[in-house]
Amino acid sequence: MCDGTPLSPDAIRLPADFPIPDAAVLITASKAGPSQVVDGYYRGDLQEAYHGWKDAFETAGYTVIFDEIEVTDSEVAYQSGDGRSIGQVSLRTDCIEDGRTSVHITNRPT
């Protein structure tokens, strides 16, 4: 998902305090059982996307449970500050030619 119309905050349906970096554009959202799945892209390379999401979680009081960055992908797993949700942001270099990094968020209640 490297192109598309940004969703409204209501359509994203993530927790109200869920941090979304300014460079992130979220374009699809769906339910998968109890999980909310959101896809989009980050305007920047993999390194920028990784640091953007990790910093956003830490600034918002979320706990980063696990994170890694590799050559073509990255993950940042988190738990909300209130402990009510947990999930992961997966980043891929699928659309690197556009200067964007694809974003896949899976958020679920604990």
Q: For the segment 12-68, what is each residue's pLDDT rounded down to a tens digit?
A: 999 999 999 999 999 999 999 999 999 999 999 999 999 999 999 999 999 999 999
What band does 87 get if pLDDT is binned at 50, 70 and 90?
A: very high
pLDDT for position 97: 66
Distance, in Å, from the CA atom of 93 to the CA atom of 106, rounded to the nearest integer, reads: 18
By residue count, the chain amounts to 110
96 pLDDT more than 70: no
Question: Which residue shows structure tokens 């980063």?
Answer: 64
> What is the longest distance spanned by two Cα atoms in the chain?
38
Residue 4, SS3? Answer: coil
Contact yes or no for 76/67 (Cβ under 8 A):
yes
What band does 99 get if pLDDT is binned at 50, 70 and 90?
A: confident
Distance, in Å, from the CA atom of 64 to the CA atom of 55, rounded to the nearest integer, reads: 9
